[in-house]
Amino acid sequence: MHRGTHLSGAINTAAFKVTDSEDELWRKLHEVMKERLGTTAIVYGFAHSVHLADRVGFTRSLLLKNSHSNDYLSHFSMANFLEDDVSVAMLYDGVGPFLWHEIDNLPGLTNAQRQRNALDDALQLSAGVTLGFRFAGGRGYGGIGLASRGMSTRQFEEMWRADVAGHMAVLTAFDHLMRPAMVKNRLQLTRREKECLSLAVGGMSAKEIGLHLGIAEKSVFNILDRARKALHAASTIEAVAKALVYELI
């Protein structure tokens, strides 16, 4: 384990087309990582703030994409899919890349975490790796988990360590292309919503924003409410933070 190791460095997009759609990027990543690591399933996600998970939990804090099979997912409530995943907790604490079989050597696991590990073992999902990344000057965080179902942990570790730099380069490129694609598809703001959030950044009140834009104060409240809903934010402050981190304003 290497504390504080995250996706970073030079971005090599050779494995992906910059203009690829979200679905095509997802398909291509599976294709490339299957060849590199025998990858059979991937979980990818990110959030605008590392502190959001403290309030709503790992699963709810992230914009997620997941390709695990239904026979595996049926064992979980998707609203809490990541809560007892030790590798996600390690990522959150700044440890990574984290090979899954190293979990067995960790002290202090909860009963729920041990049960999760036992299920993964029973379903031949002990071979894999989780690694994290930061963006927006360290304010945003996320991670990716690669599972190689049915592979021995020894074989997986050998394949991982044979070309760590190459694997990381591919995953870095994927993250830098996929994150904006997912934001664009999932967090859409109107021109007026962007205007109001941009003015709120400067500390303007709803009344001041209304005067600046020539609209009623009540209209500003309604617009900001729509912006909060569009960004899945609990408050205007959170909506502004998301819009800034995700470069929507």
What is the rounded average pLDDT of the residues 21-43?
A: 96
What is the rounded average pLDDT of the residues 57-69?
A: 93
Residue 12: its pLDDT value, please? 58
Residue 8: its pLDDT value, please? 44
Return the ∠ at Cα 142 (arms to 136 and 146), rounded to 5°.
Answer: 140
**What is the DSSP code string of 167-234?**
HHHHHHHHHHHHHHHHHHHH----HHHHHHHHHHHTT--HHHHHHHHTS-HHHHHHHHHHHHHHTT-S
Q: Long-range CB contacts (< 8 A, 24+ apart) of 16-25?
A: 16/173, 16/174, 16/177, 18/177, 20/177, 20/181, 21/181, 22/178, 22/181, 22/182, 22/185, 25/174, 25/177, 25/178, 25/181
What is the pairing mode between strands 140-147 and 6-7? unpaired
What is the rounded average pLDDT of the residues 60-89?
A: 90
Q: What percentage of residues in the chain have a pLDDT greater than 70?
A: 93
Give the pLDDT confidence of 176-230 residue by residue, as tens digits.
999 999 999 999 999 999 999 999 999 999 999 999 999 999 999 999 999 999 9
What is the pairing mode between strands 98-99 and 128-135? antiparallel
Give the pLDDT confidence of 98-114 residue by residue, as tens digits.
899 888 778 888 899 98
What is the rounded average pLDDT of the residues 48-72?
A: 91
DSSP 142: E
- Among 1.20.1260.10, 1.10.10.10, 3.40.50.300, 2.60.40.2470, name the CATH number for the domain at 191-245: 1.10.10.10
Residue type at 190 in one-letter notation: T
Identify the H or E element spanning 42.
strand 41-47
Residue 20, pLDDT above cutoff 80: no
Where do the domains of the chain lie?
A: 6-186, 191-245
Residue type at 124 in one-letter notation: Q
- Contact at 8 Å (CB) between 58 and 85? yes
CA-wise closest residue to 130 among 142, 145, 149: 145
Cα separation, 48 vs 94, whole angstroms: 16
User: Average pLDDT, whole number, for the chain?
Assistant: 89
Return the CATH number of the domain spanning residue range 6-186.
Answer: 3.30.450.80
Give the pLDDT confidence of 143-152 residue by residue, as tens digits.
999 999 999 9
Residue for token digits 């942990």?
Answer: 153
Cis peptide before 97 (omega within 30 of 0): yes
DSSP SS3 for 88: helix
